[in-house]
Every structure is written in structure tokens, then in C-alpha cells.
Amino acid sequence: MATRAARLGRRVLEGRESGPGRPGCPRRQGRQDCQGRPGRQRRKRDEAGISTVEVVIGTPILFLFVVTMVGLGLYAQNVGQVQDAAQDAARMSSLQRTTSDAYNFAYDVAKDDLGGTCNDGAGGLPTVTVPTTSSGTDGVTLLTITVECKVTELGITYTIDESSYAPVDTYRGGQP
């Protein structure tokens, strides 16, 4: 009489032993387990390469997102610098007595404030419009300065225009 292990071994070799988790459970190339459910092998084969697809699609999207954030940060920084230059130029020009002195002073202040921000072909120099004066609502004369700066960042050229105004100091000491 053959032992149980010998009988079990013979059944395993013949493929007759069945049941989940038993060594003799016949499988059809990983498609189903012994009870007809989709097997683990099929799931592994269907999901093979999905990580590669995720990386191939996700990496350029992530890179584009990072480059966009860097570009927007540089733009915000440049706008802030041009705004500061326009404010400084308007305030310093308002202390001058003549329009030509005010223009020259505004240009010098804007150029010093912007440094290398305006870097598009024009020698890195900002454009400062001739200051104009207008009478304010309560009789105060206002000086308006507009600074234009062409910037090239990440291969994109854009122009930043910022204006600022300051009241002209008519009571400043000295000769009128």
C-alpha cells in the first residue's frame, strides 16, 4: 500500500490534485486560480510597465510645472523692481526745479535702481518718459514718471511699464 505522500505526489504529477493553495492545483498560464478567479499572475502581467508609463508622462509635466513657477517668480521679481524704480524716480524728480533736471534725475535713479533687470538688447537701459506735471484735486502739482523695461527671461521677452507719481515740492528752499 502506497503512503499518502506517494499518492499525493502521483496526483500532483498527473494534475489531478485541486483546491486553492495546494501544490497540485492546475493553472492555465496564470489566468485563473483553482476556483476560477483571476489569478495573481494575470494581474502582475497586466500591470507590468505601468510605472514606466507614469514616469514617462509625469516627468515632463512636473518639469513644465517647475519651469512655469520659476518663470512666474522671475516675472514677479522684475515687476517689483520696475515699480520700485518708478517710485524712486518720481520721488527724486519731484525735488528738482526744472523739467529737464527732473527728467535727467529720474533717468539716473531708474537706471541705478534697475541695474541688470532691463536686459533686452538696448544696452540694459530703461526708458523713462519725460515727466509731466498736472494739477491735482487740491491744487498740488503732481509729477508722473513712467518706466519701461524690456526683459528677456527663459527665452521670453516682455515689457514692463510702471508709472508712479509724486507731488512737486514747491516749498523747497532755494531760488524759484
**21 within domain boundaries:** no
Under the banding of pLDDT at 50, 70 and 90, the label for residue 139 is very low
How many domains are there within the chain? 1
Percent with pLDDT over 70 in the chain: 56
Residue 121 lies in a domain: yes
pLDDT for the residue numbered 44 = 59
Q: Compute, in degrees rounded to 10, the torsion defined by CA atoms 122, 125, 130, 133.
A: 140
Between the alpha carbon of residue 51 and those of residues 46, 56, 57, 60, 62, the distances in Å are 12, 9, 10, 15, 15
- Whether residue 14 lies inside any domain: the answer is no
Q: Are strands 156-167 and 127-128 parallel, antiparallel or unpaired?
A: unpaired
Q: For residue 130, give its domain range.
A: 55-167
**105 in any annotated domain:** yes
In a domain, 120, yes or no: yes
Residue 50: per-residue pLDDT? 85
- Kindly report the pTM of this predicted structure: 0.60
Give pLDDT tens digits for 56-93.
999 999 999 999 999 899 889 888 988 888 888 888 88
Residue 134 lies in a domain: yes
Q: Round the average pLDDT of the chain to a whole number and report it.
A: 72
Residue 64 lies in a domain: yes
- Encode pLDDT of 115-133 as tens digits: 777 765 555 677 777 555 5
In-domain check, residue 139: yes
